[in-house]
Amino acid sequence: MNKKIFILIVGLMSISLVGIISIQIYWIKDAIKNKQQQFDNNVKIALARTSEKIKDREYSEFIQNTQEFFENNEYRTDAEINTYLFQQIDTTNKKKFSFGGTILAENFKIPGDFVNNDSIIIKRYTGKEDIYFSQVIKSKNSDFKSYIDENHLSTFKLYSDWNKQQLEHMFRQSKRIYPIDQRISNNELNFTIREELVKMNIIQGFKYGVYEDDLATQLKSGYFNIHPNDVNYPLLADDNGNSKYKLYIKFPDEHKNLLSGMVKILGLSLLFIGIIIAAFSASLYQLVRQKKISEIKTDFINNMTHEFKTPIATINLALDAIKNPKIISDEEKVKRYVKMIREENKRMHGQVENVLRISRLEKNQIEISKDATDMHDTIEEAIEHIQLLVDDKKGKVTSHFKAISTEVLGNQFHLTNIIVNILENAIKYSENSPKIDVYTESTNKYFIFKIKDEGIGMGRNAQKYVFDKFYREHKGNIHNVKGHGLGLAYVKEIIESHQGTVYVESEKGKGSLFTVKLPLI
């Protein structure tokens, strides 16, 4: 896949993922905000009903207590009677209307809880109204008009609006001298708030406090301090909604209960967000993995082509030489060229066998028989295999055997091969004369050996993939060091088949340290 196309696909997928997650988060925040707003509105409605309920109770008690003064003439000081009469003639319909009535104004001196035991005067207005409907009859021969009564209505009523205004004014003035805690009890306020909250389907615990001009009063539920976000409502407000008292309320577990009511929706949203992230991560991982595999396979094919090209060319040259009449008659030269062909053929066969062997290992098609194996002997045998290569480069392998227990349950052939592979890597990736140290140690459960070199080392990224099949770190020319990236993959497969572990520590320019841990018998 083209690198630009790959970056474009990853970029578009990332933007889409961020967009989807952002929308989900916005929706969740908006849902929580709406739920919070709805909750606050319901609380305000409950507080408004609480305030009205207490106000109505207080006013009803006042009216009930005041009513006896109007029913007892003892408190009436004087009375005044006024009459009135109005007339109107409708010439179109030939009707005459007469309005008449009597108004009784009574003064009541009502004692109150005022300074110096002052009293107040309340006027009560009652009256009788008479309404007459008359028909106007006009004579044909004169302008004389006569009136005939058709109907008469008489009513007696209390002028309640005026009295109500006086009583409300008296109520407001009389209550001004009382502290709020003498007008309302904590029990009443707590019970009323709870009752109104239940009507709004709010059953969680709450705390409240009443403040007068931002100063705390005795009406509160335990320790209470106001916060700018606390819901509040005027208490005992007048007809214009003005009041010096404010009822504040807060819910200690508000957010917990708010989220608990949305737990299913939030859970599903978070689940879907998790699925989207997991699907995106898996897709991105597969894309990167496939791209990496594609690059590794391309490198492998190039390496294999390069590795096979040399022995094939050598075999062709040897065959051409044998065909030469001068060479074919020389038995020694023919044997030398035949040996060269056999060695090159063996070399190609070994490379093919490496590929097939790692494939069979991954598919568990190779049965590895295990016996008691002395690891010190196995390591020494592996060192002997690569000693000529080390000597050719004027290098040195130093052993530091400190392990007390050395027997493991393993296959000596494969264990020897993995040690040889690690040692060969140490030789191949040493720019100067290779200096290799082999350390061994043992614990109660494990035999541990370490192979340290002073080669070119590798970066952190290479350390992550060094045990992957076909992986090889290179700079520019992939053929600067021969190999197919199968040796360390084979090492890992064999170690894991022996229930062991292998890992590498390395730093560029300072060499590498391979550590293998195998369980003891």
Instruction: Give the pair of three-digit tokens for residue 472.
Output: 């090889």
Q: Please report the DSSP string for 359-427 in residue order.
A: HHHHTT-S----EEEEHHHHHHHHHHHHHHHHHHTT-EEEEEE--S--EEEE-HHHHHHHHHHHHHHHH
Is there a contact between 518 and 410 (Cβ–Cβ < 8 Å)? yes
Boundary residue ending a domain (140, 175, 210): 175
Judge if 334 and 419 occupy the same domain: no
Calculate helix-pair angle for 186-199, 3-71, nearest 10 degrees. 130
CA distance 114 to 53: 26
Same-domain pairing of 170 and 271: no
Task: Give the whole-angstrom CA distance, residue 322 versus residue 317.
Answer: 9
User: What are the backbone angles phi and psi of residue 354, rounded to the nearest 5°?
Assistant: -60, -45
Q: Report the alpha-carbon distance of residue 244 to residue 214 in Å, rounded.
A: 9
| CA separation for the pair 440, 376 (Å, rounded) | 8
Which run of H or E residues covers position 272? helix 263-323
Residues 54, 140: one domain?
no
Indicate the Cα dihedral angle 55, 56, 62, 68, nearest 10°. 180
pLDDT in tens, the chain (521 residues): 567 777 787 788 888 888 888 887 888 888 888 888 888 888 889 888 888 888 888 878 777 766 666 565 655 566 666 665 666 666 666 666 666 666 666 666 666 554 455 666 666 666 665 555 555 444 444 444 444 444 444 444 444 455 566 666 666 666 666 777 778 888 888 898 889 888 888 888 888 888 888 788 888 887 777 877 788 888 877 767 777 888 888 888 777 767 666 677 777 878 888 888 888 888 888 877 777 777 767 766 766 676 677 678 778 888 888 888 877 878 888 888 888 888 778 767 766 766 666 666 655 555 678 889 999 999 998 888 888 778 888 889 999 999 999 999 998 888 988 898 888 888 888 888 899 999 999 999 999 999 999 888 888 878 887 877 666 665 444 444 455 556 788 788 889 888 999 989 988 888 899 999 999 98
Residue 2, pLDDT score: 66
Position 214 in a domain: yes
What local confidence, expressed as pLDDT, does residue 359 receive? 64
Domain-located, residue 67? no
Same domain, 44 and 191: yes
Among 499, 184, 232, 490, residue whose Cα is nearest residue 359: 490
339: in domain: yes
Give yes or no: residues 137 and 230 share one domain.
Answer: no
Q: How distant, in Å, are the alpha carbons of 152, 164, 165 from that of 158? A: 20, 11, 13
Query: What per-residue confidence (pLDDT) applies to 367?
Result: 65
pLDDT for residue 399: 92
Provide the residue range defining the domain that includes 456: 368-519
Number of domains composing the chain: 4
- What's the confidence (pLDDT) of residue 149? 44
Claim to verify: residue 418 and residue 441 sit in the same structural domain: yes
Q: 85 and 50 in one domain?
A: no
Identify whether residues 325 and 254 lie together within a single domain: no
Q: What pLDDT score was predicted for residue 502?
A: 92
| In-domain check, residue 65 | no
Domain shared by 42 and 84, yes or no: no
3 state DSSP class of 318: helix
Domain match, 164 and 189 both: no
Q: What integer pLDDT is reported at residue 39 of this predicted model? A: 85
